[in-house]
Amino acid sequence: MISVEEALDKILGFVEILGREDKPILDCLGQVLAEDVYAPFDVPPQDNSAMDGYAAQTKSIVGASYEHPKVLRIVGEIAAGCVSDLTVEPGTAVRIMTGAFVPYGADVVVPFEETDEVDRKGTSVYSAEVGVRVGLPDGSNIRRRGEDIAKGELVMKAGRLLRPAHIGVLASLGKGTVSVIRRPLVGILATGNEVLEIDKPILPGRIYNSNSYSLAAQVLMYGGIPKLLGVAPDDVEQLTVAVRHGFDCDMLVTSGGVSLGDYDVVKQVLAAEGDVSFWTVRMKPGKPLAFGTFKRDDGKKIPHLGLPGNPVSSMITFELFARPAIFKMMGRGSLARLNITAILEDSIKNSDGRRIFARVAVGKRDGKYFASLTGQQGSGILTSMTRANGLAVIPEDTKEVKRGTAVEVIMFDWDDLEIGEKNK
Ligand code: AMP
Ligand code: MG
């Protein structure tokens, strides 16, 4: 038996970072930038107003107050998007809207609320003059040219994971397309004579293929592109044909057929078609695992992960081994999950020296995380995964973790902390 770490190291040793592709920025969310991005110009491109108000000179409004406003002559108006050649001189002001470029000569913008504009409405001096009721320091309510990004600056480095704000910054630089590491195409093949495609009427002795769907959803969630290769029966020839349909993929994931049963033929096919190791990994669930590479006729090698068939085991082994492999292919820097310490609300026994990954619902109360088991822990009980947002790690050499003990939890769904809160 090998450890979880050894298995992961071997798998990551096989997968390589993929090539780059140029795409419209909105399609790049969650992908890793493959080029350095420099600013072609200043952002913002000119000094502009942060408020609706009056552009003026600081010295014209020194000492202004509610009781003793400084009256300025209005020489014009600038709306956002307009180019204006207006000039502000001592004693004058330009009515200006948020985002409009600050006119020459002005060094301050006085917000409408700090003037008597409203009170002048309907009088003869409305729009000709305005009384300013505060003195403001130089630069108030002006966004300076280049204050966000200076021309020529390295704005984003290759290797940066693109989140919504990065997509926005790229747009602000006028970059409609960028170069990113492409998403991996991940072939997913279910195996088993009993496994039936979900578009067929259910038959005696058969079960629906859930694995392909949970695994494909995981691929999608982690940024890959799933390619569903259907279900192959436990038959060497048919399985070989099905596997070959996935030879255009960057990685192949199969489920089932890797344990010691009479019909577990995946091993035979894998051994014939490539260079494959069968491991028993010191973990629960998910002990049987196959990993290796298929060799295409043109010599290209495709990494293959043979996951166990039990629905929970296949999802957890995917989470622990396929997710980091996908992240690595996508060029992502940090492959590890953020783990937390939580107080276990159930006792867990560990009888056979494997590392247990227990499905738990984590919630937060009084500033502390609590984790409770999501019901029965059989590896066929897929609904136990729907109620979980984390995996509590029970080390190999720990015989029992008692209720109330702090344990390490691998969080796979931070957005669903409610799961744990509802539980109690
Ligand atoms: P195996 O690893 O092939 O021995 O399968 C272990 C268990 O997982 C068996 O009970 C299978 O029926 C079940 N199983 C295998 N493949 C799937 C699948 N694609 N969807 C749902 N259950 C499956
Ligand atoms: Mg099977």
d(Cα 56, Cα 107) in Å, to the nearest integer? 6
Burial class (CB in 10 A: 0-12, 13-18, 19+), 403: exposed
| Number of alpha helices (DSSP H) and beta strands (DSSP E) in the chain | 10, 27
Instruction: Answer for the pair 410, 362: CB distance below 8 angstroms, yes or no.
Output: no
- Specify the DSSP element, H or E, that contains 196: strand 195-196
Instruction: Answer for the pair 8, 320: CB distance below 8 angstroms, yes or no.
Output: yes
Which positions ≥6 away from 300 have C-beta within 8 Å? none
Give the binding-site residues of ligand 1, using a 6 Å CB cut-off: 190, 192, 194-195, 207, 209-212, 255-257, 259, 261, 308-311, 380
Instruction: Give me the sign of the Cα torsion angle 226, 231, 234, 237.
Output: negative
- Cβ atoms < 10 Å from Cβ of 320: 23
Pocket test for ligand 1, best of 198, 203, 211, 258 (most atoms within 8 A of CB): 211
CA of 387 to the centre of ligand 1 (A): 21
pLDDT score of 371: 97
CA of 416 to the centre of ligand 1 (A): 28
Atom of ligand 1 minimally distant from the CA of 231: 19
- Cβ atoms < 10 Å from Cβ of 367: 5
Helix, strand, or coil here: 257? coil
CA of 276 to the centre of ligand 2 (A): 18
CA of 190 to the centre of ligand 1 (A): 8
- Specify the DSSP element, H or E, that contains 49: strand 48-49
Atom of ligand 1 minimally distant from the CA of 310: 8
d(Cα 387, Cα 216) in Å, to the nearest integer? 19
Residue for token digits 């590479």? 293
Please list the ranges in the chain whose pLDDT falls under 50. Answer: none
- Cβ atoms < 10 Å from Cβ of 333: 10
Backbone phi, psi, residue 13, to 5°? -65, -20
pLDDT score of 415: 84
Q: Angle at Cα 241 formed by Cα 236 and Cα 182, nearest 5°?
A: 125
Closest CA to 132 of 107, 104, 112: 112
- Specify the DSSP element, H or E, that contains 5: helix 4-14
Which ligand has the nearest atom to the CA of 379? 1
Full DSSP string of 200-214: SPP-TT-EE--HHHH
> What would the two tokens of residue 26 be?
């909105």
d(Cα 377, Cα 371) in Å, to the nearest integer? 14
Q: What percent of the chain has pLDDT above 90?
A: 85
Atom of ligand 1 minimally distant from the CA of 261: 4
Diameter of the chain measured on Cα atoms: 98
Instruction: Answer for the pair 175, 22: CB distance below 8 angstroms, yes or no.
Output: no
Segment 173-209, tens digit of pLDDT: 999 999 999 999 999 999 999 999 999 999 999 999 9
Amino acid letter for position 164: P
**Cis amide linkage into residue 285, ω under 30° from 0:** yes
pLDDT score of 423: 59
CA of 191 to the centre of ligand 2 (A): 6
pLDDT score of 262: 67
Which ligand has the nearest atom to the CA of 255? 1
Pocket test for ligand 1, best of 239, 255, 269, 280 (most atoms within 8 A of CB): 255
Segment 241-270, tens digit of pLDDT: 999 999 999 999 999 988 877 667 877 887
pLDDT score of 213: 98
| 1-26 per-residue burial string, b: 16 or more CB within 10 A, e: under 16 | ebebeebbeebbebbeebebeebebe
Torsion of CA 84, 89, 93, 95, to 10 degrees: 10
